[in-house]
Amino acid sequence: MKGLVLSLALVALSVLCAHGDVPVQPDFQEERIVGKWYGIALASNSNWFQGKKQQMKMCTTVLTPTADGNLDVVATYPKLDRCEKKSMTYIKTEQPGRFLSKSPRYGSDHLIRVVETNYDEYTLMHTVKTKGSEVYTIVSLFGREKSLRSELLVKFQNFAKEQGLTDDQILILPQTDNCMSDV
């Protein structure tokens, strides 16, 4: 466990040097962000995203507090003819609204920031994913409902572009009813 924390701290330090200007929600209130969210939009410069984005659809993500103060995150999304689940734990950092996560399965580290939220309608998140020497940017927009005001979609797109992402790296996820109710 000590090695994991040290590893995550080193990744966070190196990522902060490269992405220190990304804001975090002022006065972030973790207890208000828990619950069910719909994945509305996604943007990334990763090769994986570019290869999969034509097949991607809206998903659900549920945030649940853990006993040790972190967040369990379970995303459920349609894949072919079934529903897939992906689980992660967001480990709190000293800055509210900023989390670390590690994917042993894929060998990647994640620095996640809640950039902006009003808790009841939308959440805009920024993630830096590091895998070996590769560093990727991921911008996500979540909603409490399956659709959001057009101004929020524009805000998401503008923020993604401010992070260096291009139009072909930005995706408004197609709505679906698949895998939305078994969360």
| Closest to 40 measured CA to CA, from 147, 179, 181, 117 | 147
Q: What residues have CB less than 8 Å from 81, skipping those under 6 apart?
A: none
Decide if 59 is catalytic: yes
Residue 9's φ and ψ, nearest 5 degrees, are -65, -40
Tokens 């929600």, located at residue: 25
φ and ψ at residue 145, rounded to 5 degrees: -115, 170
Q: Which residue of the set 17, 59, 83, 179 is catalytic?
A: 59
For residue 94, give every residue at least 6 positions away whose Cβ sits within 8 Å of its Cβ, in sequence order, or none: none
Under 8 Å between Cβ of 42 and 173: yes
Q: How far apart are CA 22 and CA 31, in angstroms?
A: 22
Contact partners, residue 50, CB within 8 Å, separation at least 6: 44, 168, 169
Q: What residues are labeled active site?
A: 59
